[in-house]
Structure 1
Amino acid sequence: MKFRRSERLVDMTNYMLEHPSQLVPLTFFADRYGSAKSSISEDLTIIKETFEQRGIGTLVTVPGAAGGVKYIVNINKEEAERFIGEMCEVMEKPERLLPGGYLYMTDILGDPQFVNKVGRLIASAYSGKQIDVIMTMATKGIPIAYAVANHLNVPVVIVRRDNKVTEGSTVSINYISGSSKRIQTMLLSKRSLAVGSRVLVVDDFMKAGGTINGMVSLLEEFDAVVSGIAVLIESEDTEERLVEDYISLLKLSEVDTREKKISVSAGNYFEKSKGTIY
Protein backbone atom coordinates (compact mmCIF):
# COMPACT_ATOMS: atom_id res chain seq x y z
CA MET A 1 0.00 0.00 0.00
CA LYS A 2 1.34 3.38 -1.06
CA PHE A 3 0.95 6.26 1.42
CA ARG A 4 0.50 9.85 0.41
CA ARG A 5 2.82 12.38 2.05
CA SER A 6 -0.01 13.83 4.14
CA GLU A 7 -0.78 10.35 5.48
CA ARG A 8 2.87 9.68 6.23
CA LEU A 9 3.23 12.97 8.09
CA VAL A 10 0.23 12.27 10.31
CA ASP A 11 1.29 8.72 11.10
CA MET A 12 4.96 9.59 11.63
CA THR A 13 4.05 12.46 13.94
CA ASN A 14 1.80 10.22 15.99
CA TYR A 15 4.47 7.51 16.17
CA MET A 16 7.20 9.90 17.34
CA LEU A 17 4.95 11.43 20.01
CA GLU A 18 4.11 7.95 21.31
CA HIS A 19 7.79 6.91 21.43
CA PRO A 20 9.73 9.82 22.97
CA SER A 21 13.48 9.46 23.48
CA GLN A 22 13.49 6.28 21.39
CA LEU A 23 15.88 6.00 18.46
CA VAL A 24 13.89 5.00 15.38
CA PRO A 25 15.85 3.86 12.28
CA LEU A 26 14.88 5.53 9.01
CA THR A 27 14.52 2.06 7.51
CA PHE A 28 11.62 1.46 9.91
CA PHE A 29 9.62 4.29 8.34
CA ALA A 30 10.82 3.45 4.84
CA ASP A 31 9.53 -0.11 5.19
CA ARG A 32 6.38 1.03 6.97
CA TYR A 33 5.31 3.29 4.11
CA GLY A 34 7.12 1.72 1.18
CA SER A 35 9.01 4.96 0.58
CA ALA A 36 12.60 5.92 -0.13
CA LYS A 37 14.80 7.10 2.75
CA SER A 38 15.20 10.45 1.02
CA SER A 39 11.43 10.99 1.14
CA ILE A 40 11.35 9.96 4.81
CA SER A 41 14.14 12.43 5.60
CA GLU A 42 12.18 15.23 3.95
CA ASP A 43 9.08 14.30 5.96
CA LEU A 44 11.05 14.29 9.20
CA THR A 45 12.45 17.73 8.40
CA ILE A 46 8.89 19.06 8.08
CA ILE A 47 7.89 17.45 11.39
CA LYS A 48 11.01 18.77 13.12
CA GLU A 49 10.37 22.35 11.96
CA THR A 50 6.72 22.17 13.02
CA PHE A 51 7.58 20.72 16.43
CA GLU A 52 10.09 23.47 17.09
CA GLN A 53 7.82 26.26 15.86
CA ARG A 54 4.94 25.03 18.03
CA GLY A 55 7.13 24.38 21.08
CA ILE A 56 6.32 20.67 21.09
CA GLY A 57 9.91 19.50 21.07
CA THR A 58 12.47 18.58 18.48
CA LEU A 59 13.78 15.68 16.43
CA VAL A 60 17.41 14.68 16.82
CA THR A 61 19.05 12.79 13.97
CA VAL A 62 21.78 10.27 14.77
CA PRO A 63 23.95 9.53 11.69
CA GLY A 64 25.47 6.20 10.76
CA ALA A 65 24.30 2.68 10.06
CA ALA A 66 22.99 2.29 13.61
CA GLY A 67 21.47 5.77 13.64
CA GLY A 68 18.01 7.11 13.16
CA VAL A 69 15.77 9.84 14.55
CA LYS A 70 14.68 10.56 18.09
CA TYR A 71 11.87 12.77 19.43
CA ILE A 72 12.89 14.91 22.42
CA VAL A 73 10.10 16.56 24.41
CA ASN A 74 10.32 20.30 25.06
CA ILE A 75 8.14 23.29 25.82
CA ASN A 76 8.40 26.95 24.88
CA LYS A 77 8.83 29.51 27.63
CA GLU A 78 5.58 31.34 26.90
CA GLU A 79 3.51 28.19 27.29
CA ALA A 80 5.37 27.21 30.46
CA GLU A 81 4.85 30.66 32.00
CA ARG A 82 1.15 30.61 31.13
CA PHE A 83 0.58 27.17 32.66
CA ILE A 84 2.53 27.93 35.84
CA GLY A 85 0.52 31.14 36.20
CA GLU A 86 -2.70 29.15 35.86
CA MET A 87 -1.48 26.67 38.47
CA CYS A 88 -0.79 29.52 40.91
CA GLU A 89 -4.35 30.78 40.50
CA VAL A 90 -5.78 27.30 41.05
CA MET A 91 -3.68 26.67 44.17
CA GLU A 92 -4.53 30.05 45.75
CA LYS A 93 -8.27 29.37 45.93
CA PRO A 94 -9.34 29.64 49.63
CA GLU A 95 -11.47 26.50 49.46
CA ARG A 96 -8.28 24.44 49.08
CA LEU A 97 -7.30 25.19 52.67
CA LEU A 98 -7.73 22.23 55.01
CA PRO A 99 -7.51 22.06 58.83
CA GLY A 100 -3.89 22.20 59.97
CA GLY A 101 -2.82 24.39 57.06
CA TYR A 102 -2.78 21.57 54.51
CA LEU A 103 -3.85 22.10 50.90
CA TYR A 104 -6.38 19.95 49.07
CA MET A 105 -4.69 18.69 45.89
CA THR A 106 -6.44 15.41 45.14
CA ASP A 107 -8.63 16.92 42.43
CA ILE A 108 -5.78 18.39 40.38
CA LEU A 109 -3.55 15.34 40.83
CA GLY A 110 -6.46 13.28 39.55
CA ASP A 111 -6.89 15.46 36.45
CA PRO A 112 -5.04 13.68 33.60
CA GLN A 113 -4.65 16.84 31.49
CA PHE A 114 -3.24 18.83 34.42
CA VAL A 115 -0.86 16.04 35.44
CA ASN A 116 0.24 15.50 31.84
CA LYS A 117 1.22 19.18 31.53
CA VAL A 118 3.12 19.03 34.81
CA GLY A 119 4.92 15.94 33.55
CA ARG A 120 5.80 17.68 30.30
CA LEU A 121 7.22 20.69 32.15
CA ILE A 122 9.46 18.54 34.31
CA ALA A 123 10.44 16.24 31.44
CA SER A 124 11.41 19.25 29.31
CA ALA A 125 13.79 20.44 32.02
CA TYR A 126 15.60 17.09 32.00
CA SER A 127 15.25 16.09 28.34
CA GLY A 128 18.91 16.87 27.76
CA LYS A 129 20.09 14.53 30.53
CA GLN A 130 20.49 10.79 30.63
CA ILE A 131 17.58 9.46 32.70
CA ASP A 132 17.03 5.72 33.16
CA VAL A 133 14.21 5.72 35.70
CA ILE A 134 11.86 7.98 37.69
CA MET A 135 11.66 7.49 41.45
CA THR A 136 8.93 8.69 43.82
CA MET A 137 7.37 7.86 47.19
CA ALA A 138 4.08 5.95 47.48
CA THR A 139 2.13 9.18 47.95
CA LYS A 140 0.37 11.77 45.79
CA GLY A 141 3.52 12.19 43.72
CA ILE A 142 2.86 8.93 41.86
CA PRO A 143 0.66 10.48 39.09
CA ILE A 144 3.31 13.14 38.46
CA ALA A 145 6.08 10.55 38.32
CA TYR A 146 4.21 8.51 35.72
CA ALA A 147 3.48 11.62 33.66
CA VAL A 148 7.17 12.54 33.60
CA ALA A 149 8.11 8.95 32.79
CA ASN A 150 5.66 8.93 29.88
CA HIS A 151 7.32 11.98 28.30
CA LEU A 152 10.84 10.60 28.84
CA ASN A 153 9.87 7.01 27.98
CA VAL A 154 11.43 5.47 31.10
CA PRO A 155 10.05 3.25 33.90
CA VAL A 156 8.93 4.32 37.39
CA VAL A 157 10.05 2.86 40.72
CA ILE A 158 8.04 3.53 43.88
CA VAL A 159 9.60 3.77 47.32
CA ARG A 160 7.35 2.51 50.13
CA ARG A 161 7.18 2.84 53.89
CA ASP A 162 6.14 -0.77 54.49
CA ASN A 163 7.01 -4.09 52.91
CA LYS A 164 4.77 -5.67 50.24
CA VAL A 165 4.94 -9.39 49.63
CA THR A 166 4.72 -8.77 45.88
CA GLU A 167 7.91 -6.68 45.98
CA GLY A 168 10.20 -9.56 46.93
CA SER A 169 13.33 -8.84 48.94
CA THR A 170 13.93 -5.17 49.69
CA VAL A 171 16.57 -2.66 50.75
CA SER A 172 15.49 -0.38 53.60
CA ILE A 173 16.98 2.64 55.33
CA ASN A 174 16.06 4.90 58.23
CA TYR A 175 15.88 8.62 57.62
CA ILE A 176 14.96 11.75 59.56
CA SER A 177 11.83 13.55 58.44
CA GLY A 178 12.69 17.16 57.72
CA SER A 179 9.56 18.62 59.31
CA SER A 180 8.78 16.35 62.26
CA LYS A 181 12.41 15.29 62.93
CA ARG A 182 11.13 11.76 63.47
CA ILE A 183 13.05 8.70 62.37
CA GLN A 184 11.13 6.90 59.64
CA THR A 185 11.76 3.96 57.33
CA MET A 186 11.60 3.67 53.55
CA LEU A 187 12.32 0.67 51.38
CA LEU A 188 12.66 -0.36 47.75
CA SER A 189 12.59 -3.73 46.03
CA LYS A 190 16.06 -5.03 45.13
CA ARG A 191 14.81 -5.76 41.61
CA SER A 192 13.70 -2.18 41.00
CA LEU A 193 17.04 -0.66 40.07
CA ALA A 194 20.08 -1.82 38.17
CA VAL A 195 23.49 -0.81 39.46
CA GLY A 196 24.51 2.57 38.10
CA SER A 197 20.99 3.64 37.12
CA ARG A 198 20.55 7.37 36.50
CA VAL A 199 17.52 8.43 38.49
CA LEU A 200 15.23 11.45 38.44
CA VAL A 201 13.53 11.86 41.84
CA VAL A 202 10.02 13.35 41.61
CA ASP A 203 7.59 14.39 44.38
CA ASP A 204 4.45 16.46 44.73
CA PHE A 205 5.44 18.58 47.76
CA MET A 206 8.65 19.43 49.55
CA LYS A 207 9.01 21.27 52.84
CA ALA A 208 12.40 20.68 54.41
CA GLY A 209 13.23 17.89 51.99
CA GLY A 210 13.62 15.04 54.48
CA THR A 211 11.76 12.50 52.36
CA ILE A 212 13.66 13.39 49.20
CA ASN A 213 16.93 13.34 51.11
CA GLY A 214 15.99 9.87 52.31
CA MET A 215 15.40 8.70 48.73
CA VAL A 216 18.81 10.05 47.76
CA SER A 217 20.37 8.04 50.59
CA LEU A 218 18.43 4.96 49.48
CA LEU A 219 19.82 5.34 45.96
CA GLU A 220 23.33 5.15 47.37
CA GLU A 221 22.54 1.62 48.53
CA PHE A 222 21.91 0.72 44.88
CA ASP A 223 25.02 2.53 43.60
CA ALA A 224 22.60 4.63 41.54
CA VAL A 225 23.18 8.20 40.35
CA VAL A 226 20.84 11.09 41.12
CA SER A 227 20.37 12.85 37.77
CA GLY A 228 17.89 15.38 39.13
CA ILE A 229 15.23 16.23 41.69
CA ALA A 230 11.90 17.84 40.76
CA VAL A 231 8.86 18.80 42.85
CA LEU A 232 5.50 20.30 42.00
CA ILE A 233 5.41 22.60 45.05
CA GLU A 234 8.08 23.65 47.50
CA SER A 235 7.36 25.38 50.79
CA GLU A 236 9.17 28.65 51.39
CA ASP A 237 8.46 28.46 55.13
CA THR A 238 11.27 26.21 56.27
CA GLU A 239 14.26 26.90 58.50
CA GLU A 240 16.56 24.26 57.07
CA ARG A 241 16.47 22.85 53.55
CA LEU A 242 18.00 19.38 53.37
CA VAL A 243 18.02 19.39 49.56
CA GLU A 244 19.81 22.05 47.55
CA ASP A 245 19.87 21.15 43.87
CA TYR A 246 16.26 20.73 42.71
CA ILE A 247 13.60 22.13 40.39
CA SER A 248 10.23 23.34 41.64
CA LEU A 249 7.26 24.50 39.56
CA LEU A 250 5.49 26.36 42.36
CA LYS A 251 6.46 27.96 45.66
CA LEU A 252 4.09 28.08 48.62
CA SER A 253 5.03 31.24 50.51
CA GLU A 254 2.12 31.78 52.90
CA VAL A 255 -0.83 29.90 54.41
CA ASP A 256 -3.04 32.00 56.67
CA THR A 257 -5.69 29.72 58.17
CA ARG A 258 -7.44 32.59 59.97
CA GLU A 259 -7.82 34.77 56.88
CA LYS A 260 -8.05 31.73 54.60
CA LYS A 261 -5.33 33.12 52.40
CA ILE A 262 -2.91 31.08 50.31
CA SER A 263 0.03 32.70 48.53
CA VAL A 264 1.61 30.73 45.69
CA SER A 265 4.16 31.93 43.14
CA ALA A 266 6.37 30.44 40.45
CA GLY A 267 9.15 28.20 41.75
CA ASN A 268 12.72 28.11 40.47
CA TYR A 269 11.78 26.25 37.28
CA PHE A 270 12.88 28.94 34.82
CA GLU A 271 16.09 29.63 36.69
CA LYS A 272 17.11 25.97 36.95
CA SER A 273 15.93 24.84 33.52
CA LYS A 274 17.46 27.76 31.66
CA GLY A 275 18.80 26.53 28.34
CA THR A 276 16.55 23.47 28.14
CA ILE A 277 13.33 25.31 27.24
CA TYR A 278 12.97 27.91 24.52
Structure 2
Amino acid sequence: MKWKRSERLVDMTHYLLEHPHQLIPLTYFSDLYQSAKSSISEDLGIVKETFEEKGIGLLMTVPGASGGVKYVPKLKDGEIRQVMDELITELSQSDRLLPGGYLYMTDVLGNPQMMNRVGKVFASAFAGEKIDAIMTVATKGIPIAQAIARHLNVPVVIVRRDSKVTEGSTVSINYVSGSTRRIQTMVLSKRSMKSGQRVLITDDFMKVGGTMNGMKNLLEEFDCTLAGVAVLVEAEHVDERLVEKYLSLVKLDEVSEKDRTITLRGGNYFEGVE
Protein backbone atom coordinates (compact mmCIF):
# COMPACT_ATOMS: atom_id res chain seq x y z
CA MET A 1 0.00 0.00 0.00
CA LYS A 2 1.35 3.38 -1.04
CA TRP A 3 0.63 6.12 1.48
CA LYS A 4 -0.32 9.63 0.37
CA ARG A 5 1.72 12.45 1.91
CA SER A 6 -1.31 13.74 3.84
CA GLU A 7 -1.84 10.26 5.30
CA ARG A 8 1.83 9.95 6.21
CA LEU A 9 1.85 13.32 7.94
CA VAL A 10 -1.20 12.50 10.08
CA ASP A 11 0.03 9.04 11.04
CA MET A 12 3.61 10.23 11.62
CA THR A 13 2.46 13.09 13.86
CA HIS A 14 0.30 10.73 15.91
CA TYR A 15 3.18 8.28 16.35
CA LEU A 16 5.60 11.00 17.44
CA LEU A 17 3.14 12.44 19.96
CA GLU A 18 2.60 8.96 21.44
CA HIS A 19 6.35 8.28 21.77
CA PRO A 20 7.98 11.36 23.34
CA HIS A 21 11.73 11.29 24.06
CA GLN A 22 12.13 8.10 22.00
CA LEU A 23 14.69 7.97 19.21
CA ILE A 24 12.95 6.72 16.07
CA PRO A 25 15.12 5.67 13.10
CA LEU A 26 14.18 7.09 9.70
CA THR A 27 14.14 3.51 8.40
CA TYR A 28 11.13 2.82 10.65
CA PHE A 29 9.01 5.41 8.85
CA SER A 30 10.55 4.54 5.48
CA ASP A 31 9.63 0.86 5.83
CA LEU A 32 6.22 1.59 7.33
CA TYR A 33 5.13 3.97 4.57
CA GLN A 34 7.15 2.29 1.79
CA SER A 35 8.70 5.65 0.93
CA ALA A 36 12.20 6.89 0.23
CA LYS A 37 14.16 8.39 3.13
CA SER A 38 14.31 11.69 1.23
CA SER A 39 10.49 11.86 1.24
CA ILE A 40 10.38 10.96 4.94
CA SER A 41 12.90 13.71 5.70
CA GLU A 42 10.72 16.24 3.89
CA ASP A 43 7.67 15.07 5.84
CA LEU A 44 9.53 15.37 9.12
CA GLY A 45 10.60 18.88 8.16
CA ILE A 46 6.93 19.85 7.83
CA VAL A 47 6.10 18.27 11.19
CA LYS A 48 9.08 19.96 12.85
CA GLU A 49 8.09 23.39 11.56
CA THR A 50 4.47 22.93 12.67
CA PHE A 51 5.42 21.63 16.14
CA GLU A 52 7.69 24.61 16.80
CA GLU A 53 5.33 27.20 15.34
CA LYS A 54 2.33 25.93 17.34
CA GLY A 55 4.32 25.41 20.55
CA ILE A 56 3.74 21.65 20.59
CA GLY A 57 7.39 20.82 21.13
CA LEU A 58 10.69 20.20 19.39
CA LEU A 59 11.58 17.60 16.78
CA MET A 60 15.26 16.83 17.20
CA THR A 61 17.33 15.10 14.51
CA VAL A 62 20.16 12.80 15.56
CA PRO A 63 22.63 12.19 12.69
CA GLY A 64 24.54 8.99 12.02
CA ALA A 65 23.80 5.35 11.28
CA SER A 66 22.13 4.89 14.66
CA GLY A 67 20.36 8.24 14.52
CA GLY A 68 16.82 9.29 13.79
CA VAL A 69 14.29 11.77 15.15
CA LYS A 70 13.04 12.44 18.66
CA TYR A 71 9.95 14.39 19.74
CA VAL A 72 10.55 16.51 22.85
CA PRO A 73 7.37 18.01 24.41
CA LYS A 74 8.02 21.66 25.24
CA LEU A 75 5.59 24.49 25.89
CA LYS A 76 6.19 28.17 25.18
CA ASP A 77 6.46 30.56 28.15
CA GLY A 78 3.10 32.15 27.35
CA GLU A 79 1.30 28.81 27.52
CA ILE A 80 3.05 27.94 30.78
CA ARG A 81 1.92 31.22 32.31
CA GLN A 82 -1.60 30.51 31.12
CA VAL A 83 -1.59 27.18 32.97
CA MET A 84 -0.31 28.92 36.11
CA ASP A 85 -3.00 31.62 35.86
CA GLU A 86 -5.77 29.03 35.41
CA LEU A 87 -4.54 27.12 38.46
CA ILE A 88 -4.47 30.31 40.54
CA THR A 89 -8.00 31.25 39.46
CA GLU A 90 -9.33 27.77 40.18
CA LEU A 91 -7.61 27.32 43.54
CA SER A 92 -8.49 30.83 44.79
CA GLN A 93 -12.17 29.95 45.19
CA SER A 94 -13.19 30.45 48.82
CA ASP A 95 -15.14 27.19 49.03
CA ARG A 96 -11.84 25.31 48.71
CA LEU A 97 -10.75 26.43 52.16
CA LEU A 98 -10.60 23.56 54.64
CA PRO A 99 -10.14 23.67 58.44
CA GLY A 100 -6.52 24.29 59.36
CA GLY A 101 -5.86 26.47 56.30
CA TYR A 102 -5.60 23.59 53.83
CA LEU A 103 -6.83 23.73 50.24
CA TYR A 104 -9.17 21.24 48.62
CA MET A 105 -7.39 20.23 45.40
CA THR A 106 -8.66 16.71 44.72
CA ASP A 107 -10.90 17.75 41.83
CA VAL A 108 -8.05 19.63 40.14
CA LEU A 109 -5.75 16.62 40.56
CA GLY A 110 -8.50 14.46 39.06
CA ASN A 111 -8.96 16.69 36.01
CA PRO A 112 -7.16 14.79 33.19
CA GLN A 113 -6.86 17.80 30.89
CA MET A 114 -5.39 20.04 33.57
CA MET A 115 -3.01 17.34 34.79
CA ASN A 116 -1.88 16.66 31.22
CA ARG A 117 -0.97 20.33 30.83
CA VAL A 118 0.74 20.46 34.23
CA GLY A 119 2.72 17.37 33.26
CA LYS A 120 3.84 19.01 30.03
CA VAL A 121 4.83 22.19 31.90
CA PHE A 122 7.17 20.28 34.20
CA ALA A 123 8.36 18.04 31.33
CA SER A 124 9.32 21.22 29.46
CA ALA A 125 11.50 22.30 32.36
CA PHE A 126 13.36 18.99 32.50
CA ALA A 127 13.39 18.28 28.75
CA GLY A 128 17.17 18.63 28.60
CA GLU A 129 17.85 16.55 31.70
CA LYS A 130 18.46 12.82 31.89
CA ILE A 131 15.45 11.51 33.83
CA ASP A 132 15.02 7.79 34.43
CA ALA A 133 11.94 7.82 36.67
CA ILE A 134 9.40 10.02 38.46
CA MET A 135 8.90 9.45 42.20
CA THR A 136 5.98 10.52 44.39
CA VAL A 137 4.25 9.54 47.62
CA ALA A 138 0.80 7.96 47.52
CA THR A 139 -1.76 9.23 46.91
CA LYS A 140 -2.31 12.83 45.78
CA GLY A 141 1.00 13.15 43.99
CA ILE A 142 0.23 10.23 41.68
CA PRO A 143 -1.76 12.17 39.01
CA ILE A 144 1.04 14.73 38.70
CA ALA A 145 3.74 12.06 38.55
CA GLN A 146 1.84 10.12 35.89
CA ALA A 147 1.34 13.26 33.81
CA ILE A 148 5.02 14.23 33.91
CA ALA A 149 6.08 10.64 33.19
CA ARG A 150 3.79 10.50 30.16
CA HIS A 151 5.58 13.47 28.56
CA LEU A 152 9.08 12.34 29.55
CA ASN A 153 8.32 8.70 28.65
CA VAL A 154 9.68 7.27 31.90
CA PRO A 155 8.15 5.05 34.63
CA VAL A 156 6.52 6.22 37.86
CA VAL A 157 7.76 5.06 41.27
CA ILE A 158 5.20 5.28 44.09
CA VAL A 159 6.39 5.50 47.70
CA ARG A 160 3.95 4.25 50.35
CA ARG A 161 3.43 5.02 54.02
CA ASP A 162 3.26 1.36 54.99
CA SER A 163 4.37 -1.97 53.58
CA LYS A 164 2.07 -4.04 51.35
CA VAL A 165 2.46 -7.77 50.81
CA THR A 166 2.04 -7.18 47.06
CA GLU A 167 5.20 -5.02 47.02
CA GLY A 168 7.54 -7.89 47.92
CA SER A 169 10.81 -6.98 49.69
CA THR A 170 10.93 -3.31 50.63
CA VAL A 171 13.26 -0.60 51.88
CA SER A 172 11.90 1.47 54.76
CA ILE A 173 13.16 4.76 56.19
CA ASN A 174 12.01 7.13 58.92
CA TYR A 175 11.86 10.86 58.29
CA VAL A 176 10.68 13.97 60.12
CA SER A 177 7.49 15.56 58.81
CA GLY A 178 8.24 19.20 58.06
CA SER A 179 4.94 20.62 59.33
CA THR A 180 4.13 18.41 62.33
CA ARG A 181 7.74 17.50 63.21
CA ARG A 182 6.62 13.93 63.78
CA ILE A 183 8.56 10.83 62.83
CA GLN A 184 6.92 9.11 59.86
CA THR A 185 7.77 6.16 57.63
CA MET A 186 8.32 5.74 53.90
CA VAL A 187 8.38 2.34 52.19
CA LEU A 188 9.46 1.43 48.67
CA SER A 189 9.72 -1.92 46.92
CA LYS A 190 13.29 -3.03 46.16
CA ARG A 191 12.18 -3.77 42.60
CA SER A 192 11.02 -0.20 41.98
CA MET A 193 14.38 1.27 40.99
CA LYS A 194 17.84 0.31 39.86
CA SER A 195 21.09 1.69 41.22
CA GLY A 196 22.40 4.77 39.43
CA GLN A 197 19.09 6.13 38.15
CA ARG A 198 18.34 9.87 38.01
CA VAL A 199 14.96 10.53 39.58
CA LEU A 200 12.61 13.52 39.53
CA ILE A 201 10.46 13.73 42.68
CA THR A 202 7.08 15.47 42.76
CA ASP A 203 4.08 16.15 44.99
CA ASP A 204 0.90 18.22 45.00
CA PHE A 205 1.74 20.44 47.99
CA MET A 206 4.89 21.42 49.86
CA LYS A 207 5.06 23.36 53.09
CA VAL A 208 8.41 22.84 54.81
CA GLY A 209 9.49 20.01 52.51
CA GLY A 210 9.69 17.10 54.94
CA THR A 211 8.09 14.64 52.51
CA MET A 212 10.35 15.75 49.67
CA ASN A 213 13.39 15.46 51.92
CA GLY A 214 12.24 11.98 52.91
CA MET A 215 12.04 10.90 49.27
CA LYS A 216 15.48 12.39 48.68
CA ASN A 217 16.87 10.28 51.54
CA LEU A 218 15.11 7.22 50.14
CA LEU A 219 16.89 7.75 46.81
CA GLU A 220 20.22 7.52 48.62
CA GLU A 221 19.22 4.09 49.97
CA PHE A 222 18.87 2.94 46.35
CA ASP A 223 22.11 4.68 45.30
CA CYS A 224 20.11 6.91 42.96
CA THR A 225 20.54 10.62 42.17
CA LEU A 226 18.04 13.43 42.64
CA ALA A 227 17.44 15.01 39.22
CA GLY A 228 14.95 17.65 40.36
CA VAL A 229 11.91 18.53 42.47
CA ALA A 230 8.54 19.56 41.01
CA VAL A 231 5.72 20.92 43.19
CA LEU A 232 2.24 21.97 42.12
CA VAL A 233 1.61 24.33 45.10
CA GLU A 234 4.08 25.56 47.70
CA ALA A 235 3.33 27.40 50.94
CA GLU A 236 4.97 30.80 51.23
CA HIS A 237 6.31 32.44 54.42
CA VAL A 238 7.95 29.26 55.69
CA ASP A 239 10.74 29.91 58.19
CA GLU A 240 12.78 26.85 57.28
CA ARG A 241 12.66 25.00 53.97
CA LEU A 242 14.17 21.52 54.01
CA VAL A 243 14.46 21.46 50.21
CA GLU A 244 16.55 24.15 48.55
CA LYS A 245 16.15 23.65 44.81
CA TYR A 246 12.68 22.99 43.43
CA LEU A 247 10.17 24.20 40.85
CA SER A 248 6.63 25.25 41.79
CA LEU A 249 3.72 26.46 39.68
CA VAL A 250 1.70 28.20 42.40
CA LYS A 251 2.54 29.86 45.74
CA LEU A 252 0.03 29.97 48.57
CA ASP A 253 0.68 33.41 50.06
CA GLU A 254 -2.02 33.72 52.68
CA VAL A 255 -5.15 32.00 53.95
CA SER A 256 -7.76 33.70 56.14
CA GLU A 257 -10.25 31.27 57.66
CA LYS A 258 -12.08 34.22 59.21
CA ASP A 259 -12.56 36.10 55.92
CA ARG A 260 -12.66 32.93 53.82
CA THR A 261 -10.01 34.26 51.46
CA ILE A 262 -7.16 32.51 49.67
CA THR A 263 -4.28 34.51 48.23
CA LEU A 264 -2.21 32.80 45.54
CA ARG A 265 0.41 33.87 43.02
CA GLY A 266 2.75 32.32 40.50
CA GLY A 267 5.40 29.94 41.78
CA ASN A 268 9.15 30.02 41.20
CA TYR A 269 8.99 28.03 37.93
CA PHE A 270 10.59 30.69 35.74
CA GLU A 271 13.16 31.56 38.39
CA GLY A 272 14.43 27.99 38.43
CA VAL A 273 14.29 27.26 34.67
CA GLU A 274 17.24 28.58 32.73
Query: TM-score normalised to the size of structure 1?
Result: 0.97
Partner of 2:257: 257
Q: Between the two proteins, what is the percent identity of the paired residues?
A: 64
- Pair 1:114 & 2:104 matched: no
Which amino acid letter does the alignment assign opposite residue 124 of structure 1? S
- For 1:20, what is the secondary structure of its paired residue? coil
Deviations 1:29-56 (A, max 9, x none): 0011000001101111111111111111
Partner of 1:245: 245
- For 1:202, what is the secondary structure of its paired residue? strand
Distance (Å, rounded) in 1 between the aligned partners of 2:224 and 2:136: 14
Cα RMSD between the aligned structures? 0.7
- Pair 1:93 & 2:98 matched: no
Q: Which has the higher contact order (CA 8 A, sep 6+)?
A: 1
Partner of 2:169: 169
Deviations 1:207-259 (A, max 9, x none): 00000000000000101011110000000031110001100000001010000
1:39-78 alignment, distance < 5 Å: 39-78=39-78
Deviations 1:90-135 (A, max 9, x none): 1111011112211111111111001111111011100110000000
Partner of 2:214: 214
Equivalenced residues, count: 274
- For 1:194, what is the secondary structure of its paired residue? coil
* C-alpha displacement of 1:70: 0.4
Which amino acid letter does the alignment assign opposite residue 244 of structure 1? E
Q: Which runs of 5+ in 2 are unaligned?
A: none
Distance (Å, rounded) in 2 between the aligned partners of 1:180 and 1:99: 16
Which amino acid letter does the alignment assign opposite residue 130 of structure 1? K
- Pair 1:229 & 2:244 matched: no
* C-alpha displacement of 1:272: 1.2
Query: TM-score normalised to the size of structure 2?
Result: 0.99
Partner of 1:198: 198
Partner of 1:9: 9
Moved over 4 A (4+): none
Which amino acid letter does the alignment assign opposite residue 64 of structure 2? G
Which amino acid letter does the alignment assign opposite residue 176 of structure 2? I
Deviations 1:54-101 (A, max 9, x none): 111011111111111100010001111112111111111101111221
- Retained in 2: the 8 A contact 1:207–1:237? no
